[in-house]
Amino acid sequence: MSSNAGCSSSFATDYARHRVPLSPVQRAILAAGAAAISFADPFRGDMIACLAETTGSDALSYCHQKMLATSEGSRILAEKPRISSSTIDFSALKQLPPGTLGRIYYDFLDVNNVSPDSRTAVRFVQDTELAYVMQRYRETHDIYHALLLMPTTMLGEVSVKWIEAVQLRLPMCFSGAIFGAFRLRPRQRKLYVEHYLPWAINTAVGAKFLLSIYFEERWEQPLADFHREANIVPLVPLNT
């Protein structure tokens, strides 16, 4: 269901084409501009991506070390698999039994009309290894939504952002979680404070490090089994 052979070298080659070298001053200016635009217009995905890359160096180093600490995470870094329509057989995921991780991921993409191919290529992370960590995070974001059973509503996005913020320590995730919460309607805000936020923090602290999970090798795993293994208690029930 995937064909990631040779992805390690292909990522390095691909990233060399996209990489934009920056001086410290250029990085600071770009980060400030991206922050200003992102706060004014939270739907500017390009600016949010830019902000993440120009402010996330320490967090990416932390994530890299966390991944190296497990055999599964180490293999991800060594093999550098990609998640896209050219590497994942989505027609095969569609045929998997309901309740499996791969089928739930496929259904999430289908229901929400999203594609992993829409993820922005990393450009401003200077180290190729750390650039891959950022790219992996972007390409697994929708998988987090699917396995956590969180929709793409503002409430769902903010909840997932808190989990990513606590686990990954990316400044962009913290700002997205905090400022996104201000956009919630009164009824959503009540649910957020009483249920979603405590659940997100507890999940982030107690669950396995999501970036170290080789999802491509787990498509056939029942989500209920994955939840037990990863120490995740879903906030909403899994309907199969």
Residues that constitute the known binding site for Zn(2+): 141-142, 145, 157
How far is the C-alpha of 74 from the C-alpha of 209, rounded, in Å? 13
For 95, the token pair is 């045929």
The binding site consists of 141-142, 145, 157
How far is the C-alpha of 15 from the C-alpha of 132, rounded, in Å? 9
From residue 41, give the alpha-carbon distance in Å to each of 84, 118, 220.
27, 19, 39
For 232, the token pair is 């995740």
Residue pointed to by tokens 């992370």: 125
